[in-house]
Amino acid sequence: MDSVIAFIGCGNMGSSLIGGLIADGVSPGRLRGADTDPAQCERVRERFGIAAGTDSTAAASGAQVVVLAVKPQVARATVTGMAEVLRRERPVLLSIAAGIRLESLRAWVGADIPMVRAMPNTPALIRAGAAALYAGPGTKEEHRERAESILRAVGAVVWLDDEDLMDAVTALSGSGPAYFFRMIEALEEAAVELGLSRESARLLTLETALGAARMAMESRLEPAALRRQVTSPGGTTERALGVLEEGGFAALLGKALTAARDRSRELAEILKEE
């Protein structure tokens, strides 16, 4: 029997997962939604043709997978409100609520049920996401497969064997799109300063970023080898890369990821205390 999947929280990420599953051929009849905003429920019903309402417990009842896609600040109230049905029916609880550790979820549910924690990122909105997953103790292979199939509908998936690594994932792929957006922004501004029109600078920057990413994805070569291929001795690329290295480019990125990871840990402790 095909699994019924309930999405608790139908905002951007929840909606992107619903849309990705339907695009993958999952019947809307297998999907349910719940959101505290009646207008959002209406949008989900109209866009995807799934049942959606404001009652999280009703949505979770009878589901084999419950996707927790609410803001971290309301995760505790949301989970405790559904705790009775979660304990009774023991679905897979797939949490994409940032910073909420599985120990907190277990405490709020009041029982050891199958749990998977996931960290997706915003490109999931266009089905180009990257997500890391961690399965809690007692989560069987069939539970892992159900969770993975949901995240895989909107991008790439990797599994972690240590939940503590989720903070590093948050720093890399969770926050990572902003780093690339900032680099695109800076390159565009620099190109305009060199005399290119805004329109030309933006197009060339975006296509260069896209092309480089595709080459890195599709090539068998490591990024360092690809870099060397386009870096002629004494040429323009070598000169530009030299300036970046003189400015501590690699070290600065390392410091940035470390700062993001540390902040992720701090926020997790704050959410745990709340």
Which CATH number characterizes residue 164's domain?
3.40.50.720
> Which structure tokens are listed for 107?
């405490």
Q: What is the pLDDT of residues 170-186, one digit of tens each?
A: 999 999 999 999 999 99
Residue 120 falls inside a structural domain = yes
Query: What's the pLDDT at 19?
Result: 95
Task: Determine how many CB atoms are found less than 10 A away from the CB of residue 52.
Answer: 25
**Mean of the per-residue pLDDT values of the chain:** 95
Angle at 170 between CA 168 and CA 13, to 5 degrees: 155
Residue 250 falls inside a structural domain = no
Residue 140 falls inside a structural domain = yes
Query: What's the pLDDT at 239?
Result: 97
Question: Residue 207 contacts by C-beta under 8 Å, 6 or more apart in sequence?
Answer: none
Q: What is the pLDDT of residues 198-223, one digit of tens each?
A: 999 999 999 999 999 999 999 999 99
Q: How confident is the model at residue 272 (pLDDT cuts 50, 70, 90)?
A: confident
Q: Is the pLDDT of residue 121 over 80?
A: yes
Structural domain boundaries, residue 18: 5-173
Residue 205 falls inside a structural domain = no
Task: Determine how many CB atoms are found less than 10 A away from the CB of residue 212.
Answer: 14
> Is residue 28 within 8 Å of residue 87, measured between CB atoms?
no
Residue 73 falls inside a structural domain = yes
Residue 261 falls inside a structural domain = no
Portion of the chain with pLDDT greater than 70, in percent: 99
| Sequence-ordered alpha helix ranges (H) in the chain | 12-23, 38-48, 56-60, 72-89, 102-109, 141-152, 166-169, 176-193, 198-218, 223-229, 236-246, 249-273
Residue 123 falls inside a structural domain = yes
Q: How many domains are there within the chain?
A: 1
Residue 212 falls inside a structural domain = no
Q: Is the pLDDT of residue 1 over 70?
A: no
pTM for this prediction: 0.90
Q: Is the pLDDT of residue 58 over 70?
A: yes
Residue that is written with structure tokens 């329109």 in the block: 199
Lowest mean pLDDT of 105-109, 139-143, 270-274, name the range.
Answer: 270-274
3-state SS of 107-151 is HHHCCCCCEEEEECCHHHHHCCEEEEEEECCCCCHHHHHHHHHHH
Q: How confident is the model at residue 274 (pLDDT cuts 50, 70, 90)?
A: low
Q: How confident is the model at residue 137 (pLDDT cuts 50, 70, 90)?
A: confident
